[in-house]
Structure 1
């Protein structure tokens, strides 16, 4: 299956895609992320009988055989600057979501949806006025960590390494998961030392992140969106823009300190010595150099923080990565170089949805949470179908869905 295509492409049709049982949002500075669970009332629960999540949980209590609820965790993104697209999508599923909530709270017209990120505060009035939705706010860092912990424990092959064009999935030992460094690359970058469920500390960060790449890229090229800028970087040659060690040392390595001739000595440094205007440079070369600069910087700072706390595992998440091979390879090379091979960069299949997933799991109003957190159920069921995250940022396609059997 093409990872950029989803079996649920297009706006969700509630009549075709099952009941929207729970939804959560993570509204960041650049992107708004949604996670929502759909299940078909006709799906098999221990046979052929349809059953709601509440009934499935009730049936499984005190029983050695766990009930099975088949459904889908759906993931979708929108540009925050086009928040109206997000509102229109939620409006299209509002009746289903609202109907489910009102069944649990008779007489209540307000719909509460878990949300995190700065946009949960910025757009709270807009959601209430346009959709009648109360955004029930959760702490952003809490959600990032909770989402990462859940996905690493529940999703088979959630984590992987990527270097030299080779992707290798990693088996995560749940008993030896902590501590680790979580690097969340959104508009800016947060680096979080995670020591257990609910036990974490934000130890560092940098303002040079995805927003920097997108913002400078928009100024320096004619790209109109993030994906276009990423695609352009594929075609570029950063050596036209960047000053390399070989440029300084006459094409040779600086082997005494371990620098090859192709190591970047100064990002954008070659521009200084060229008598050219910006229009004389190719947009794809600028995009490539910009992506290389930011990815290298994030990789280096991440390793230095891991070294500071003696952490060997560094998990990278956030929509800056976008499963982009060149981005992942650059981060991996930086971590490998600075650690002298002792540390590895680990990436996540659901990289951009950690906060939204954490907000989703924070809800105490739904029995679904008990099903998803029940390890015995997971052991008896097929794993979530992991997938590469890729899709349209304009909100007219759904990102690849994951199938739960819980």
Structure 2
């Protein structure tokens, strides 16, 4: 029997399944749509579910198997790196979902280091409050077009003609120049940058003790989001890290659940 890997997140549902020897990846924003879709396929597939809503979904699909979220994310990330022929022995894994989790991954396994409430939920929620927009792709489009220096106070603004003790392009205060006349795009780029700055600072602090220099970013908030990727990459010279963005990083959780399920089913079939 075939397997479907499901990442039932707080905002989006990501699915991985195999058909005709190839993996397929789907994203649903509507819970009703994905439940209808799965209701049909679940008759001939076994569901392996991870994510914040996994237990809720098992109430709907009682024969589904629950996969621990951290296990699924780490397993999926390793598979994505292997698929892209990126050979890393150890790295910091940063999963930007509704919030953000940070993991140490090495040959001994995967260990969660810390987490933050800033992530995709912040981008959607605060982004909506700032602009009145609610569509993810519209928020991403506006962010890409915005200029955060029109909203953020930079070190350059503070020191003006004086020599600053730190690089003058850094943020002195997020949103300090924003007002009622600030454009939607500029506010969204400032928000994207604030999220990225916080994530990089936390990742850097968490990684120093373990001497990890490669940062692997996954999670649905990175999907079609060039502004966030750019802002996450802006501190390389200062903090000495290498950002890596697997192409299908949004599906790490669902791919990991799928892989656990596939291994389990193969093991049972051999018995």
TM-score by length of 2: 0.91
Q: For each residue in 1:192-211, what CA deviation from the matched residue of structure 2 results, as whole angstroms up to 9, or x when unmatched? A: 111237x1211112111111
The answer as to whether partners of 2:144 and 2:226 remain within 8 angstroms in 1 is no
Bigger radius of gyration, 1 or 2? 1
Residues 329 and 253 (structure 1), Cα distance of their counterparts in 2 relative to 1, 3 Å cut: farther
What are the superposed Cα offsets for residues 10-68 of structure 1, whole Å, 9 maximum, x if unpaired?
Answer: xxxxxxxxxx93211011111111001101xxxxxxxxxxxxxxxxxxxxxxxxxxxxx
Distance 1:343 1:235, change over 3 A: closer
RMSD: 2.2
1:287 aligns with 2:222: no
After superposition, the Cα gap between the structure-2 partners of 1:253 and 1:211, relative to the gap in structure 1 and judged at 3 Å, is: farther
For the residues of structure 1 that align with 2:223 and 2:208, how far apart are their CA atoms? 26
Structural mapping, 1:2-401, within 5 Å: 21-39=2-20, 71-79=21-29, 82-91=30-39, 93-94=40-41, 98-99=43-44, 112-125=46-59, 127-128=60-61, 134-153=63-82, 155=83, 158=84, 172-173=86-87, 177-196=88-107, 199-250=109-160, 254=164, 257-260=165-168, 262-271=169-178, 276=179, 278=180, 280-334=181-235, 336-339=236-239, 342-363=240-261, 364-367=263-266
Distance in 2, matches of 1:76 and 1:145, equals 20
What is the CA distance between 1:223 and its match in structure 2? 1.1
Offset at residue 172 of structure 1 (A)? 2.4
Asked if structure 2 preserves the Cα contact closer than 8 Å seen for 1:243 and 1:267, the reply is: yes
Question: Is 1:316–1:348's contact at 8 Å kept on the other side of the alignment?
Answer: yes
Gaps of 5+ in 1: 1-19, 40-70, 102-111, 159-170, 371-406
CA distance in structure 1 between the partners assigned to 2:65 and 2:194 by the alignment: 38
Q: Are 1:25 and 1:115, in contact at CA under 8 Å, matched by a contact in 2?
A: yes
Residue 234 of structure 2 aligns to a residue in which SS? helix
- Tell me if structure 2 keeps the 8 A contact 1:115–1:137: yes
Q: Return 5+ residue gaps in structure 2 as ranges.
A: none
Structure 2 distance, partners of 1:235, 1:228, is 11
Provide the rounded CA distance (Å) in 1 between the counterparts of 2:120 and 2:99: 6
